[in-house]
Amino acid sequence: MNENQTPHRHITVLLQEAVAGLNVRPDGVYVDGTFGRGGHSRRILAQLGEAGRLVVFDKDPAAIATAEALAATDARVSVVHNGFATLQAALSERGIHHIDGALFDLGISSPQIDEAARGFSFRFDAPLDMRMDTTRGISAAQWLAVAAEQDLHEVIKNYGEERFSRPIARAIVAAREIEPIATTGQLARLVAQVVRTRERGQDPATRTFQAIRIYINRELEEVAAVLPQAVAMLHPGGRLAVIAFHSLEDRIVKQFMNQHSKPAPLPRWAAVKEVDRELPPLRLVGKAQKPGNDEVSANPRARSAVLRVAERTAGLFAHE
C-alpha cells in the first residue's frame, strides 16, 4: 500500500496463489495462522463446503474482533486469540488432531503499520509499543529501558542486519540515562544521528525498528516452532503454505521445507538403493512464488513477499 491509499486498508498479498497452493478440499479442516483482516480466510471459506472447518489465529486484538464477527455469521470458523506457535495445543483443545492445510502469512499487516498508536512505524511520533498483541508482554519502550547494551547490539545486528548496531546500542544506553525512550520519534531521531549512510529511499531507522519488532514479538522463534507442529498435524496430501516478507523468516521456511523433503542422509558405508530409502515427510510443490508486477504496482509492500508450498506425504515425521 502506498502513502496515498486509504489508511488501515489491508491488501492481502498473494491471495489467489496462496489459497490455490492449499488445494482446498470442501470437507477439509484448515488453519489460517495469521488472520489479519481475513483475506485468505474468506477465500478458503469460499471453497469449503458445509462440512469444512477453518480455525484462525491472530495475536492482534483488532484482527480478532474482525475474526469473531466473521465467526458469528459462519459456524465453520473457530477463532484463537494467540500466536500460531500454540497451534497443536489450541487445535487439540478444540478436538482437532489432524488438518488438511495450514497457511501462514508472516510479518506485520498494513493496519498495524499505519495505526500510529501501535508504535510500529517511524513515520509517526507515537508511543513506542510494537506489540502485535497489546494485551500481553512488554512493549518496545519497556525493553529498551532495561536491555543490556550487548543485548541491544545483538538484537539490532541479528534481526535487523544492521551494520551500525553497536553504535546504535551505545547511543540508546546513553540516551536513556537522560530520559526514557518512550516514543517512535525519539528512537528514530536517535538512530538517524548514528546511521549516517543508508540505502537510497530507506529511512535510517528502518532496520532498527524491524529488529526490535521481530524481537518483541518473537517472530522468528514462533515460525521455527510452528512449522514442525503443522507438518505433524497434516494428513497425507495436506498442504503447508507460507508467505514470508523478510529474508530471515524465509530462510527458516526454506531450510525446513528443503530438509524435510529429502530422504534422511545415510552413512557413507550404507548400501541402500535409492528406491528403498525412507520417504521424506514433505514434497515441495512448485517453486517459490513472488508477486507479479501488477500486484507490486498496486501494493508496493508486497514486493518482498515469497510464497513456499509443501505437501505432506505418508513418510514418517520425527516430531509426530
CA–chain centroid gap for 118, Å, is 17
- SS3 assignment, position 104: strand
Is residue 212 assigned to a domain? Answer: yes
What nine digits make up the cell of 75?
459456524
pLDDT of 113: 55
Q: What is the mean pLDDT of residues 268-287?
A: 77
In this structure, of 47-61, 112-126, 141-155, the range with the lowest mean pLDDT score is 112-126
Flag whether 40 is marked binding.
yes
Write down the residue that cell numbers 488453519 correspond to: 31
* Predicted confidence (pLDDT) per residue in 122-135, tens digit: 666 899 999 989 88
- What is the C-alpha R_g of the chain? 21
Does 186 share its domain with 230? no
Does 247 share its domain with 180? no
Does 228 share its domain with 106? yes
Q: What is the span of the domain harbouring residue 163?
A: 134-216
Does 289 share its domain with 305? yes
| Distant-in-sequence, close-in-space partners of 42: CB < 8 Å, separation ≥ 6 | 70
pLDDT band at 272 (very low <50, low <70, confident <90, very high): low
Flag whether 84 is marked binding.
yes
- pLDDT higher than 80, residue 82: yes
Flag whether 317 is marked binding.
no
Does 227 share its domain with 304? yes
Domain C-terminal end among 216, 243, 258: 216
- pLDDT higher than 50, residue 2: no
Beta-strand (E) ranges in 22-165? 29-32, 53-58, 77-81, 99-105
- pLDDT higher than 50, residue 7: no
> Above pLDDT 90, what percent of the chain?
76
Flag whether 120 is marked binding.
no
pLDDT of 302: 87
What nine digits make up the cell of 142?
519497556
pLDDT of 4: 34
Q: What's the count of helices (H) and strands (E) in the chain, helices before strands?
A: 13, 7
Flag whether 238 is marked binding.
no
